[in-house]
Amino acid sequence: MKVKELMKKPIVIEKDLMLSDAAKIMVKYSINSIPVVKDENLLGIITAHDLVKNFGEQKKISEVMSTSISSMNENDKIQDAIEIIQKKDVDIIPVLNAGGKLVGIIDTKDIVKKACDNEDFFLD
């Protein structure tokens, strides 16, 4: 199975917004990480952990976002995503197309849900 078969459309945010804006989006959509983009180009990721570390600070997302990101191509295998999640201890992986544009995300919840729906999932 390829990543593009399991990925979903990402909720994204721009780097010049404030941390409080990221917090509101995370609460609204019940997510813990948001890719930071400009013109569909991935710049970084802001996480709930980043927000907690900077609680009460009036900072822009660009000041605290992670820029060292593990991403995948939409045609990569799901097994590769599982390996990245295990090695890097991340909850989401941004998915890029051949042109390097953000087209989706794959997260641990999607992988677990698919595994529960299909007992042979990990044998693919």
From first to last of the 124 residues of the chain, give the pLDDT tens digit: 899 999 999 999 998 899 999 999 999 999 999 999 998 899 999 999 999 999 888 999 999 999 999 999 999 998 899 899 889 888 889 999 999 999 999 988 888 877 777 666 555 5
Residue the block writes with tokens 């970084």: 44
Q: Where are the domains of the chain?
A: 3-123
Q: Maximum distance among all alpha carbons in the chain?
A: 48
The CATH number corresponding to 3-123 among 3.40.140.10, 3.30.300.130, 1.10.10.10, 3.10.580.10 equals 3.10.580.10
Contacts of 36 by beta carbon, 8 Å cutoff, 6+ apart: 12, 13, 14, 15, 42, 43, 44, 45, 46, 61, 62, 65
Q: Tell which phi-psi region holds residue 39, choosing left (phi > 0), alpha (psi between -120 and 50) or beta.
A: left
Determine what percent of the chain falls in helix, strand and coil, rounding each to the nearest 5: 40, 25, 35
pTM as predicted = 0.84
Q: Which residues contact 122 (CB under 8 A, 6 or more apart)?
A: 115
pLDDT given for residue 9 in this prediction: 94
User: How are beta strands 92-96 and 102-107 bridged, if at all?
Assistant: antiparallel
Decide if 35 contacts 55 (C-beta within 8 A).
no
